Amino acid sequence: MSIFDAGKVCTFSPISGVVLYEGKPVAGARIVRTTDYQKKSQDEAVTDGNGYFEMPGIYERHIVNFLPQEFVVGQLINVSFNDKEYKIWSGVKRKWEENAESRGKPLVVTCELTQEDEVINVDRQPFIAKCKWDVDPNIKADIF
């Protein structure tokens, strides 16, 4: 970390993956990612012919306070496909490190638009998703 990175926090880790509909890749789907930390931030991507997308990490400067402060970031990803919007990722990131959503591993997802939402808890960070990624979630008794 350089001196220029002092105070930077990761509000959404770099993410890549594939979007599927009934098991088939979704080409040309619009992906909108939103974070809500000190202000709302939004970016977009479009899936390629294989349903693949890639988005860089989002980083913000952390305003240092003299009082202790909990790190809490709202995360949301919506996919627009065939004139319908699907919420594929909704969660709360509570750790400032990159890839905290996947316990340090790269965040590579496979998202099935027709799948029921699933609650996945990673180190007490709850995510409601239509996506699977390489992470061992907390056991249900250790959710909160």
Q: Where are the domains of the chain?
A: 3-139
User: Per residue in 86-137, pLDDT tens?
Assistant: 999 999 999 989 999 999 999 999 999 999 999 999 988 889 999 999 987 7
Residue 70: its pLDDT value, please? 81
Report the relative pairing of strands 73-81 and 58-61 from DSSP bridges.
unpaired
Q: What angle is formed at CA 90 by the lines to CA 85 and CA 94, rounded to 5 degrees?
A: 160
Task: Supply the pLDDT for residue 140.
Answer: 60
pTM, entire model? 0.88
Per the model's pLDDT, the better-predicted residue between 24 and 140 turns out to be: 24
Across the chain, mean pLDDT equals 89
Domain spanning 3-139, CATH class: mainly beta
Question: By three-state DSSP, how is residue 141 classified?
Answer: helix
Q: Where are the extended beta strands (E) located within the chain?
A: 8-12, 15-21, 24-25, 30-36, 40-46, 52-55, 58-61, 73-81, 84-93, 107-112, 118-122, 125-129, 131-133
Rounded Cα distance, 51 and 36, in Å:
26
Inter-residue contact 114 to 104 (CB < 8 Å): no
pLDDT of 142 strictly over 60: no
Instruction: Summarize pLDDT for 57-66 with one digit per residue, the tens.
Output: 999 987 654 4
Burial status of residue 108 (CB atoms within 10 A of its CB: 0-12, 13-18, 19 or more): middle
